[in-house]
Amino acid sequence: MHERGARGVPLFTAGRRYLTAGLLSGATDLAIYSLLAKWLGVHPLLANIVSRCAGGFVSFVANKHWTFENKGEAETHIQFVRFWCVFAVSFMLSELLVGLFHSVLGWEAIVTKVAAESAVVAFNFMSHRHFTFR
């Protein structure tokens, strides 16, 4: 329960912070997605690309400086690249799930988005903890 990562943040604390930062980045993502997909009629897959990138930027900043307490500026460019590599894999999973839930199952756009993002949370946390911000 008190396992510490390379930066000294206990696993439980990092997990709790990650979920909180995720709410902030998720709210950014969902707000933009809702605006595009629901209100402007943009196709859900295209809306997901735009909204997820915006949420990703918020996530990088929050997780680097707060979740994993990684304040070293010297590593920022490396972490930024690692973050977007993890993001790319996570994004592909999200797009796959959005497409499946919307096109195959016929779910409404917002339900589709929330379900897809919920499904990739654990992958993202472990990847960022052990790869991006190690």
Query: What local confidence, expressed as pLDDT, does residue 133 receive?
Result: 85
* Count of the separate structural domains present in the chain: 1
Handedness of CA 124, 132, 61, 53 (dihedral sign): negative
> Does a structural domain hold residue 5?
no
Query: What local confidence, expressed as pLDDT, does residue 1 receive?
Result: 40
In tens, the pLDDT along 62-89 reads 988 888 887 667 688 899 999 999 999 9
**C-alpha distances out from residue 73 to 8, 64, 79, 124, Å:** 17, 10, 10, 22
> Does a structural domain hold residue 6?
no
Query: What local confidence, expressed as pLDDT, does residue 5 receive?
Result: 46
Backbone angles phi, psi at 4, to 5 degrees: -110, 140
C-beta atoms surrounding 127 within 10 Å: 19
> Does a structural domain hold residue 22?
yes
> Does a structural domain hold residue 96?
yes
Whole domain around residue 99: which residue ranges?
Answer: 11-132
**C-alpha distances out from residue 30 to 33, 44, 123, Å:** 5, 12, 19
> Does a structural domain hold residue 36?
yes
Contact 78, 47 (CB under 8 A): no
> Does a structural domain hold residue 4?
no
> Does a structural domain hold residue 116?
yes
Q: State the maximum Cα–Cα separation within the chain, in Å, rounded to a whole number.
A: 47
Which residues of the chain have a pLDDT value below 50?
Answer: 1-6
> Does a structural domain hold residue 53?
yes
